[in-house]
Each structure stands twice: as structure tokens, then as C-alpha cells.
Amino acid sequence: MLPVGRELSYAEHLHLIARRVPVSQFGLQTEVPLRDVPVVASTMNITLRSMQIFCDVVQRRSFSLAAGDNGIAQSSASQTVHHLEERLGVQLLDRSKRPFVLTPEGERYYDGCRQLVRLHQKLEDEIHALRDETARRLSVASIYSVGLAHMSALMERFKTEYPGADVRLDYMHPAQVNEAVEQGEVDLGLVSFPEDSRKLVATAWRTESLVLVCHPRHRLAKSESIELGELAGESFVALKTNLRLRAEIDRELLVEKVEIHVAHELDNIEHIKRDIETGAGVSILPAPTVQREVADGTLVSVPVKGTPLERPLGIIHRRGVELSCIALQFIEMLQADGEFACTASASANGKVDQLSQQR
């Protein structure tokens, strides 16, 4: 029997989910045996779907992209979040800012929803495994700047080659990727500046060159290449100081004794590109992240002379956890992909071979 009239724990939520009992049924200050509670499956399904849509809106930072992920109209995604806010009586998103940001209540609700949805997905995995031993699921968390368009194409190719696989890819901030892998919420993480730690094993993936990125009408736009010293006094659109790429760029500028004016600090590369397109300043970014804009003519990339500026990318997984066959296959496809070929692939392939031999 479950106590009524108090907030249920995640374990109790999952118990109700497994029995397909809507949490909203518990409104009386009594104890109600589960067998006496009417089943309203649609209510629970809608609640879980609403939480999933809300999590996708936050992770994708876009109502339209989240709507596409869930096969619904953008207006439906917006209404779903609005209905959640009405039910909770709080504002989850601050829409006065572009792009929107989570309110303090929204951050707490997102953390809870994400845990509950993933716990439910884990429960579904267990049920599916009992029903179909060939069912295989892989969850991957990635930083935003790995190349969204190309990753989407790679995911489709992977599903074609391994039709029995069920792969989910979520985009997060770097710290969240590490946390999700450490806590076992996802199987693999795609990160920049990967490092082994007490809890994580890092495998090399690819290395990206850093380039100057500027507006087509900027004074350096027509240069074949530049030296860092030519950026002295420039308005610079930078990543926030808590991000590793920002620290590496700041270190190189300090070594070269180049002083810049930081016009804006933003938390991801997509926002930086949009800011540069308005003429707000210049930045130093990984070359692959601006390929589309350079091809469209909205931005210009210029190579940097001197010591090579690079951003290494890697694949991380939880230490002490044996990788599944589907995880190894996914890693192999990443490293074998021509556009994503890692310049240090020899050691990476050796690690994958070693992992394969341990199975």
C-alpha cells in the first residue's frame, strides 16, 4: 500500500508506472491498495510524454526541433510546456530571453523529469529484454558542437546497418555529459578534451583545427591566414570561462601576449555564430562547426598561423562497465567515418580492439 497525501519518491513513481496507475488518483489522506485504484493508462502516458517533450525542448533549446523529435507540431510542443506550467502554477521557461532559459523552478523540474523519464526508459528496457532477448538499446550524450547535421546522418546510417538497434542521442553541456556517463544514465559520451579519470575511460575520436571566424565584411575576412597578434584590440565573442575550450584559447592569447576586448560571453558555439553574424565581433572556433555558415557565405573562417590550435574530441564511458556489442559497433562507426576520422586513430582503434577481445 502506498501512503497518500505526500510527494511520491521516484521509486514509488516507477512502481505506479509499472502498474499503470495514474499518480493523480492519490488525492485522499488515506492508504489505498493498488488493486482498488482504477487504471487510467492514457493519463500516465500523457504525463510521461509531456515530461519527455519538456526535456527535449530544454535539451534541444528549440520548440521546433523538439517537436520534430517527437513527431508533433511546434504548436503542440509549446502547448505541452504551457499546460505543464499551468498545472504546476509556475513558469518553467523565461521566454523574454532569446533563446529562452530555464527559471529556477524550471531547472528543478527538468532535473526531476529527466531522472524520471530515464528511470522509466530503464524499466521499459528490462521489460523489453524479457520479451525479446534481441532488443538492443544504446544511449549517447553529446556536446552540442559535434556537428548536429552530420551526426543525424550518421545515426540514420547506423540504424540502417543495425536495424535491431535502438539508439538515442541527447545533446547536453559538457559537464552534464560527464555527469550522465558517470551516473550510468547514458552508455557513451561525446566530449571535447577527453581525459581518463577515476570514474571514466576516454577514447580518442578526432581532432579539429581552430580558426578565426568573422563577418564577411570584417577587415580580416579576406586574409589567407592570420597570426594571433593581429587580433589585438578586437571585439571578441567568447565562450563562458567555465568551458575548457575558452581556457585553452585564453592560454594561447596569453602566451602570445595578445589583449582582446571580450564583447560577449555565451555558453555554446551556436549562439556565438549567430552573434558574429550580427557583426558583434570575431571568435576562434573549431573549423567543422562553421562549415555550413562558410558555405552559405554568412561567416568567413581564416586559418591561424603558428602553433596549431586544435580541439580534441573523444568518446567516454564509465570505468569498470563492460561495453555492449552495440556500443562497440557505434564507436567503430564513429571512428571509421571519413568526415569524422580521428588524426590519432591508431591508439583509439587499439583500445576498441582490446575492448572487443575482452568480450
What one-character-per-residue DSSP string does 108-172 give? HHHHHHHHHHHHHHHHHHHHHHHH-TT-EEEEEEEEGGG-HHHHHHHHHHHHHH-TTEEEEEEEE
Residue ranges and CATH numbers for the domains of the chain are 2-115 (1.10.10.10), 121-206+314-358 (3.40.190.10), 208-311 (3.40.190.290)
Mean pLDDT of 218-226: 95
Nearest to 252 by CA among 231, 273, 233, 267: 231
Mean of pLDDT values over 100-129: 88
Record the cell numbers describing residue 204, joined without a space: 580518442
Q: Which pLDDT does position 9 carry in this prediction?
A: 52
Residue 204 vs residue 307, higher pLDDT = 204
Q: What confidence tier does 48 reach under pLDDT thresholds 50, 70, 90?
A: confident
pLDDT (mean) for 246-253: 94
% of the chain beyond a pLDDT of 70: 79
Mean confidence (pLDDT) of the chain: 81
Cell representation of residue 61:
533549446
- Least confident range from 11-25, 212-226, 345-359: namely 345-359
pLDDT of residue 30: 35
Quick one: pLDDT at residue 140?
94
What's the pLDDT at 238?
96
pLDDT band at 290 (very low <50, low <70, confident <90, very high): very high
Q: Say what the pLDDT of residue 144 is.
A: 87
Q: CB of 16 within 8 A of CB of 43? A: no
pLDDT above 90: residue 44: no
Q: Is the pLDDT of residue 258 over 60?
A: yes
The arithmetic mean of pLDDT across residues 50-74, rounded, is 92
The mean-pLDDT minimum among 23-32, 93-102, 185-194, 301-310 falls in 23-32
User: Which residue is listed with cell 576498441?
Assistant: 352
For residue 244, give the H/E element and its range.
helix 244-255
Question: Is the pLDDT at 37 greater than 50, yes or no?
Answer: no
Residue 8: what pLDDT? 52
